[in-house]
Chains A and B, each alone.
Chain A
Amino acid sequence: MIKELEYPFTLAKIRDLNVGQRVTISGRLFTGRDRFHKYLFDGGKCPVDLKDGAIYHAGPVAIRREGVWVIRVAGPTTSMREEPYMSRIIEQHRVRVIIGKGGMGEMTRKACVKYGCVYLQAIGGAAGLLAESIKEVHGVHLLAEFGAAEALWDLTVKGFSAVVTIDASGKSLHRRIERSSKKALEKILK
């Protein structure tokens, strides 16, 4: 029932995912949030190859222990803030997996259909639990420019747990729940 998804996230693997499906991700994962998205959107050069990759909307708390980076906690941040930039980044870099919380808007949903990408919802606040699945920190980019929380962290994860809430056919669990709860609300207030 839980689908295992391994890097590289090829188009075939992505098209195979359906809204509502739970997945565990293994392999390479890049974090990025507000400043990184704005930077790419403005044409900044990406320090890693995002093709068939995953961007995780998170600002981890990282510390250096004996010269090695350790991620202490890394829960998802609100994805909606990246809505103005996300679709162009999907188009230009062929990112196939976006992970965050709260879902994204119409532009991103359409880009998911057009270029083959999915949005996964991670559990907001479960910062320690998600950090447990980080097995290795390969490197960090744009650290001096953006600071630790906004930098691009190049990670290897194992068994990172999430659920597909926007799939490559454009179905969105967020939209579905929004509509069904609206109907329920109207019924309650009648």
Chain B
Amino acid sequence: MKNGHWEKNLFQLIRRTSVDLPSDVEAVIRRALKKERKGSHAWWVLNAILENVALSRKNDTPICQDTGSLTFYFGVPVGFDTNAIVAHTRAAVAKATRQGYLRQNTIDSVSGASYDTNIGSASPVFIFQQQARKKVDVRLIMKGGGSENMGSQYSLPDVGIHADRDLEGVRRCILDAVWNAQGNGCAPGILGVCIGGDRATGYKHSKEQFLRRLADKSRVKALARLEEKIMKDVFKLGIGPMGLGGKTTLLGIKIDSLSRVPASYFVTISYMCWAFRRRGVLLGPEGGVHRWLY
């Protein structure tokens, strides 16, 4: 694979992800603002968030100083050279770090040393999937450490929170996680939830829910109902933006399931902060931009 436009456009994808929120996320924050009492803390925080988003867009600076962990989701055609695109992506990450679109945010877990290019054994993260189409579908999610720390995995039944192996049990896990997080992880947040799978696939799949648009409803009726119900429940908790009180504790929730073994029933919850940085692009065979996504 020739370098062509790959590196350049992957760099653009990182830059766009870092400095601007997807329009669906911004729209939901705007709607949430209308529900909060004028002058309240919640209103003040949401206003500041929107102002901050506009400012980073204008100044071309990161929305949040924690530019987080980077996960690239690739949908590639049959026979595609994945080694080459990994190399191009790493080069784009290093460049984005040098230019200040990414903070030096990658650390050796044993020595504590900081890597100055953000290239580490788990940074960035690559997830590949083969697709029938000719174009290359690239999606990037940047997730801050504060929000990542709020993720949790439950093994049902869980007597502590009276959660059995059913959707009511799942609901209890989710509400428990939201209560535990309070305003940390920078509320209002977005939850990605996976019912089932094993411990590793559970987290992976819960994070993949962040690729869905906020307006998207689960195609499984029971899960779509659960998503709706949780939003109503959470509305009543009163935790609010940054945990200062208010109605907007969550901006959205996306639930899906994976099959499981009879002995295990995991409910895995990933928490995404309001600085929900998600972008994507469809690239042609030479790496040229076909279309920006989201």
- Interface residues of chain A, those whose CB is within 8 Å of chain B, are 1, 20, 22, 59-61, 63, 72-75, 77-78, 80, 101-103, 121, 123-129, 132, 147, 161, 163, 165, 173-174, 177-178, 180-182, 184-185, 187-189
Query: Which residues of the other chain, A, contact B65 by a CB distance below 8 angstroms?
Result: 59-61, 73-75, 127
Residue of A61, A80, A121, A184 touching B238 (CB-CB under 8 A): A184
A173→B40 CA distance, assembly (Å): 14
A11→B137 CA distance, assembly (Å): 59
Asked if B157 CB lies within 8 Å of chain A CBs, one says: no
- Contact of B63 with A127 in the complex, beta carbons under 8 Å: yes
21 contacts across the A-B interface (CB closer than 8 A): A60-B65, A73-B61, A75-B64, A75-B65, A75-B66, A78-B184, A80-B184, A102-B183, A124-B183, A125-B63, A125-B144, A128-B52, A128-B61, A132-B55, A161-B48, A163-B44, A177-B183, A188-B233, A188-B237, A189-B162, A189-B172
Query: Which residues of the other chain, B, contact A103 by a CB distance below 8 angstroms?
Result: 243
- A126-B52, A181-B238 are known contacts. Are A102 and B243 too (CB-CB below 8 A)? yes
Q: Which of A123, A177, A184 has the most CB of B within 10 A?
A: A123
| Seed contacts A61-B62, A102-B182, A177-B240; 9 additional CB < 8 Å A-B pairs | A61-B65, A75-B66, A101-B186, A103-B243, A123-B48, A127-B56, A174-B243, A185-B175, A189-B172
- Interface residues of chain B, those whose CB is within 8 Å of chain A, are 39, 41, 44-45, 48-49, 51-52, 55-56, 59, 61-66, 100, 103, 114, 144, 146, 162, 172, 175, 179, 182-184, 186, 233, 236-240, 242-245, 273-275
What is the CB-to-nearest-CB distance from B285 to chain A, in angstroms, rounded to a whole number? 37
Chain A contact residues: helix, strand, loop or mixed: mixed
A185→B61 CA distance, assembly (Å): 39
A188→B65 CA distance, assembly (Å): 36
A77→B147 CA distance, assembly (Å): 12
Chain B contact residues: helix, strand, loop or mixed: loop
A147→B239 CA distance, assembly (Å): 35
Query: Which residues of the other chain, B, contact A74 by a CB distance below 8 angstroms?
Result: 65
What is the CB-to-nearest-CB distance from B169 to chain A, in angstroms, rounded to a whole number? 11
A108→B41 CA distance, assembly (Å): 23
A161→B47 CA distance, assembly (Å): 12
- Complex: chain A residue closest to B45, CB-CB: A123
- Contact of B44 with A185 in the complex, beta carbons under 8 Å: no
Residue of B49, B233, B237, B238 touching A125 (CB-CB under 8 A): B49
- Complex: chain B residue closest to A180, CB-CB: B238
Q: Which of A73, A102, A128, A189 has the most CB of B within 10 A?
A: A128
Query: Which residues of the other chain, A, contact B41 by a CB distance below 8 angstroms?
Result: 20, 22, 163
What is the CB-to-nearest-CB distance from B177 to chain A, in angstroms, rounded to a whole number? 11
Residue of A1, A22, A61, A121 touching B242 (CB-CB under 8 A): A121
- A177-B239, A181-B179 are known contacts. Are A102 and B61 too (CB-CB below 8 A)? no
Query: Which residues of the other chain, B, contact A77 by a CB distance below 8 angstroms?
Result: 146
Residue of A132, A177, A187 touching B244 (CB-CB under 8 A): A177
What is the CB-to-nearest-CB distance from A72 to chain B, in angstroms, rounded to a whole number? 6
- Contact of B63 with A181 in the complex, beta carbons under 8 Å: no
- Contact of B100 with A102 in the complex, beta carbons under 8 Å: no
Query: Which residues of the other chain, B, contact A125 by a CB distance below 8 angstroms?
Result: 49, 52, 63-64, 66, 144, 186, 273-275
Q: Which of A20, A147, A181, A187 has the most CB of B within 10 A?
A: A181
A123→B147 CA distance, assembly (Å): 14
